[in-house]
Amino acid sequence: MILRWGRIRCVLLVCLAWSSAAATQSWAQNSSLLSRSTQRRPLTLQDYSWTYQAALEPNKFEANDLITILVKTRSTVISEAETDRKKKAHATAILKDWVLLKGLTKIVPDPQSAGDPTVAASLDNKMKSEGGFESLDSISFTIACRVIEIRPNGNLILEGRRTIENNNEMWNQALTGEVRPEDVQPNNTVLSENVADLRIRKWEAGSVRDSYRRGWFLRWLDMYQPW
């Protein structure tokens, strides 16, 4: 009985020593158990995910780089006004006493033998006016702009021009503005709604423009509206 108990103690001591040694030499799993221990490395989505996509590097710009502006603006203005004004006035004046000048220095009372002069006036003024204004404007085109300046905060100052000439007809477009680098899309384009201080100018020249262009006299009439 004593001998059997001694053997059990020996087995327990051996098991305890082995578990303590294994605990000091153990490490956490850092890779798949199917790979070799020398090839194990930390698990990452880039290596084991089928749908992983690396984040795009932010665009870096320098002076004279080209950025395409997608211009698409639409504005609607509706204004209505109505005026209704009425004005009435009545006035009556009676001259009861007056003076008469005799010579150069003598002033005497002048009785009104024909009766006191009377003045009566009446004013009735009415004005009613209605006005309405509706404007719809839309611009859509694409233009390549050049980075002409980079602000200290990284914002880009853009400027672009384009001229199309066909026979005697000419169409000109110009654009300037300021944009943040993070608003520039990966395909090197930016929406016009993200451009600050946006200024767009379009003008035409040629026979078509001359056919509907107002003359100087009509412009003067529209400016001063003499009637």
Q: What is the mean pLDDT of residues 115-135?
A: 81
Instruction: Quote the pTM value.
Output: 0.52
Q: Is a pLDDT exceeding 50 seen at residue 25?
A: no
Q: How far apart are CA 157 and CA 64, in angstroms?
A: 10
**Is the distance from CB of 43 to CB of 34 less than 8 angstroms?**
no
- Residue 15 or residue 92, greater confidence: 92
Q: What does the pLDDT read at residue 160? A: 95
Label residue 227 by pLDDT band (50, 70, 90).
low
Q: What does the pLDDT read at residue 49? A: 75
Q: What does the pLDDT read at residue 217? A: 77
Q: Is a pLDDT exceeding 90 seen at residue 116?
A: no
Q: What does the pLDDT read at residue 37? A: 57
- 38-65 confidence digits (pLDDT tens): 666 666 777 777 887 777 776 788 999 9
Q: Is a pLDDT exceeding 60 seen at residue 112?
A: yes
So where are the chain's domains? 66-77+137-224, 84-132
Average per-residue pLDDT in the chain? 78
Query: Over pLDDT 90: what percentage of the chain?
Result: 24
Q: How far apart are CA 7 and CA 152, in angstroms?
A: 82
Contacts of range 86-91, beta carbons closer than 8 Å, 24 or more positions apart: 86/125, 86/126, 86/127, 87/123, 87/124, 87/125, 87/126, 88/123, 88/124, 88/125, 89/121, 89/122, 89/123, 90/121, 90/122, 90/123, 91/119, 91/120, 91/121, 91/122
